Amino acid sequence: MRAANLLLVLVAAKAAMLAGHHIPLSWWSPAAYLWQDAAVVLGFAVLEFCVGRYRGVAWALYGAAALYAAINIPVAHVLSTPLTWPMLRAARGPLADSMWYYVTWPNALLFAAILAVAALSPLFLRRPAGKPLLAALVLCVALGPAAVARVDTGGLDRNAWTALIPPPRAIHFARPPRGTEGVSTDLSQFRGAGSGRNIVLISLESTAAQYLGVYGASPDVMPNLSALARSAIVFDNAYAVYPESIKGLFSILCSAYPGFDGEAPCRSMPAVLSGAGYRTGLFHSGRFLYLGMEAVVRNRGFDALEDAGDIGGNRHSSFGVDEPSTVARILQWIDSLPAGRPFFVTYLPIAGHHPYETPEPGPLPERDDFARYRNALDYGDLSLGALMDGIRARGLERKTLWIVLGDHGEAFGQHDGNYGHTFQLYDENVHVPFLIAAPGLIPRQVRASQVVSLIDTAPTVLDLAGMGAPTGYQGRSMLDREPRMALFFADYSLGLVGLRDGSRKFIYEMNSGRAKLFDLERDPGERSNLAGSFGEESRWYRQVVLGLTR
């Protein structure tokens, strides 16, 4: 039996996955981290017994199990998770540059090392798995769930194969509940103040609030955004619904929590504005074919829809085209519109997306990914400035309302294993910039302290334009002073749901039942988990997020 050989391969793979991570020291830790590997080995032993004398089949199963474990080592080493079904769906052509970025010698050596263990193990470990080993595996599997409840593995207990089991999918939120705490800034004087103005909505790619000068970061890598913010309402506590662009865009356009297909019908914001006489257009430096974006943007009320393939451009990557070309196309479209008719234009840049490439060197020395990322934000900001200049040159500056937001954040290891944006719900993943700028209408910067969500975007824009929101919107205008909670979820790796309520931040892991509660006023870095000390409050928030799912 090759079960003992496979066990050695999986243990070696798990050791490579855990390298560099904080491992809680506990008697429960071995069972917590290895129980799913033990379950896979037991399953393999059963299959091997069933195929019996068909030795070729048994070797093929062993080879497939070892090869897939090896493939997952570089993935888990970088992203702290084995491949999941959502990750496999996302691994398409537009991400080719990001994937090639990690084809490195260290990752290749990790891959080769696991294959070497798989190939050499049968030469030195020839005895079949005996009853003591099988009993130990059964015991490990039996103790596993209890061990995970006591040891926070961050999902690294999963085997490459068990990670393909999808998390609980009953994540469908209703209207956000009323907030229980927090002070709100009165913005009621701006209701209808933008009536008749052109509207420019910019969804910045992978842009977390904490990296911007508007929110106190230094150096300021987006000075044009900071200049625009001098005559803007700046929301200090805005949150993405989901840390991924496509589902986030659905929540922005439709004021609805995304499901798992993003195709739900809605009376979208551009459709409402089009019905009120606005010309509407959406211009994306990336590609609509990615992750079902077509279903999100088509038939949503846009008169013009153009992506990288339509725009062309001077520089191409796997993910899209250069930002100056997209800005030039937006200005051409504006020039083609009938004089005096208001327009609503949505600009979706890709600057800020991994692998953070820019046509020219940025202002920061590129010593690491974080510096490259900030240079990419600076590059995107230059195009924002070009669009601002183009609007100004056409005499439209005081006739235009700007909505600038981040579609989600980006993580750089602020929490163990948290890189990229889709896997966690910490503030670096979901706390985003949101500002409403109107030169000539908002004379100076207004800081708004209330908790808001990107699901509130559509009703807010319509409120500014003097229009009512359609029934069925799950968000509500940010100009409404009533406190609210922001709800968010993620399911690319673990099944996570969470909320922000005043200074409180709550995250619940659906798979393990583990909860995290933070006081962001005292602990903005989300380091001190208060769930144990504030058990009653944590249980109540747990009931809130679970009561909003079905």
Q: How far apart are CA 407 and CA 434, in angstroms?
A: 10
In this prediction, the residues of the chain whose per-residue pLDDT falls under 50 are 260-263, 549-550
Q: Give residue 302's pLDDT.
A: 95
Q: At what angle do helices 3-18 and 55-79 cross, to 10 degrees?
A: 10
Sorted by sequence, the CB contacts under 8 Å of residue 114 that are 6+ apart come out as: 9, 12, 13, 16, 66, 69, 70, 73
d(CA 351, CA 395): 27
Distance CA 418, CA 543 (A): 26
Say if CB 541 and CB 501 are below 8 A apart: yes
> Max Cα separation, the chain?
84
Q: Where in the chain is the domain with CATH 3.30.1120.10?
A: 483-550
Helical pair 105-124 and 3-18, crossing angle rounded to 10 deg: 150
Q: What is the 3-state secondary structure (H, E, C) of 252-315?
A: HHHCCCCCCCCCCCCCCHHHHHHHCCCEEEEEECCCCCHHHHHHHHCCCCCCEEECHHHHCCCC
Query: Given this model, what pLDDT does residue 264 score?
Result: 63
Per-residue pLDDT at 400 = 96
- Distance of CA 26 to CAs 23, 34, 147, 375, 417, Å? 9, 13, 9, 42, 20
Residue that has been written with the tokens 């892991």 in this structure? 509
Vertex 417 angle, CA 413 and 423, to 5°: 100
The DSSP code sequence of 405-452 is EESS--EESSSTT-EESSS--SHHHHEE-EEEE-TTTS-S-EEEEEEE
CATH of domain 188-481: 3.40.720.10
- Which of 333, 320, 331, 351 has the alpha carbon at shortest distance from 203? 351
**482 contacts: CB under 8 Å, gap ≥ 6:** 178, 179, 184
Closest CA to 509 of 156, 44, 139: 156
For residue 451, the cross-strand partners are 237
Give, for 373, the enclosing helix (H) or strand (E): helix 369-393
In CATH, which of 3.10.105.10, 2.60.40.290, 3.40.630.30, 3.30.1120.10 is domain 483-550?
3.30.1120.10
Residue 262 is predicted with a pLDDT of 45
Task: Give 62's contacts (C-beta < 8 A, 6+ positions apart).
Answer: 2, 5, 6, 44, 118
Backbone angles phi, psi at 10, to 5 degrees: -70, -35
pLDDT at 260: 45
- Give 56's Cβ-side CA count (13 Å radius): 0
At residue 169, the pLDDT reads 59
pLDDT in tens, 36-91: 999 998 888 888 778 766 777 878 888 888 899 888 888 887 788 888 888 877 76
The CATH 3.40.720.10 domain(s) of the chain lie at: 188-481
